[in-house]
Every structure is written in C-alpha cells, then in structure tokens.
Amino acid sequence: MNLEVILGAGYAGALVLGAFVLEWLSAHTHRRSLRYRTAGFDYQPEHDLWVCPEGEQLWPHQFDRERRLVRYRAKAAICNACPRKADCTDSEQGREVVRPLDPWPHSEAGRFHRVLSLLMIVLAVLILLAVATRNHSPGELILLGAVLLVSAGAARWMLRDLRHHPANFPAPAASHGLGLTAAAADGTRERSRWASQRLRGPRGPS
C-alpha cells in the first residue's frame, strides 16, 4: 500500500477526531462557565426565576435579543442589606444573573465552534478525495472509502443537528417587570397595536 494513502487516511482521521474533540472542549467550557457564574444559585424553570443562597428571588428584568440572553436581578434594597453582599456582588442595584437562551451548540459561540468542526471534516473529505485520485488499488480504495464514509457521516450528523435547531427563540413573557432591549420592545409594541386594532374591528364610514 502506498505510503501516501496511509498518511492521507491517517491525517483525515485525525481531522475528524479533532473536530469531535473541539466540540467536546467547547461544550465543556460553556457548561463550566455557566456553573461558575451561577454557583450557589438555584434556577426554578416553572417560575422562571433564580433563588440565591440566602433565599432571595431574582426575577427576569431584561431580555437582550441581540446577545440572546435574559438578565435576572434581585431587589437592590434586600441585596444591599444582606450580610453576604461583599462575597456576592459589588453592585448597588442588586445581584444579577444572566441565563443564555440558546442551548449548546445553538448559542452564538456554539455555532461558531460547530462551523469550525464542520470545516475540519470538509478538509478531511477533500484530502481523501485527492489521495483517491492518485491511488487506485482495491486495498487503497477500501481504506480511503472507509475513512471517507466515517467523515461524511460525521459531517451529516453535525450539519443536520445544526439545521434542525436554529439559533432563535420565542419572545419572552412580559411578566414580573421584564424589560426588553430596544429592538425587541419595538416589535412588542407593534404586535400590541395590531391586536388592539383587531379587537376594535373595522371602522364603519363616518
């Protein structure tokens, strides 16, 4: 078997493996960062709030559509009187916790790393095809074909997962004083105006 075939198949396999390692490292870093920022806080999804170690509730107060996250904040008066404030926050507005709305890998960072992984696999496929055009013995083609099938399967799985879960999310509920960023607020006002017009019905001739 030609040495070029062995090196090409090995390098392509290493690229595919590296793509999955990149996926794992990126997801692990993402989860670790979230755990660090919310250490000691308990999220209650049924009420969409966080509870701090002292039992204070942090309600959503801002929806940031551009950065794809919700900001939760405790009452400033309670935080400022808390004996553990110095270990928790230096803000006079109350402790804030941020929760991203996009699951991994459909957050902005997740999609970036997923695209990098896909590019690595595409490079592996191109290398295999280039080597296959120069080497045509049955054994060589079987080896290159096997690695090519693995590479194509990995690319198909990553691409399908990325396309089936686009980086978007529903509009937030306007409960508990949740504020919106400017772009989201304009959209909410437009929907409210449209709904009120429907309730009034068409105007008759004056």
Inter-residue contact 80 to 86 (CB < 8 Å): no
What span, in angstroms and rounded, lies between the C-alpha atoms of 76 and 11? Answer: 57
Query: pLDDT tens, position by position, for the chain (206 residues)?
Result: 889 999 999 999 999 999 999 989 988 887 887 788 788 899 998 888 999 999 999 999 888 877 778 899 999 999 999 988 988 888 898 899 988 877 666 677 788 888 999 999 999 999 999 999 998 899 999 999 999 999 999 999 888 877 765 554 444 444 444 554 444 444 444 444 434 444 444 444 43
Number of H helices, E strands in the chain: 6, 6
What stretches of 89-185 adopt beta strand conformation (E)? 96-100, 179-180
Angle at 165 between CA 149 and CA 45, to 5 degrees: 135
Number of other CB atoms surrounding residue 155 within 10 Å? 20
3-class SS at 10? helix
What span, in angstroms and rounded, lies between the C-alpha atoms of 90 and 85? Answer: 7
H or E element at residue 59: strand 57-64
What span, in angstroms and rounded, lies between the C-alpha atoms of 8 and 4? Answer: 6
Of 67, 69, 46, 71, nearest to 58 by C-alpha is 71
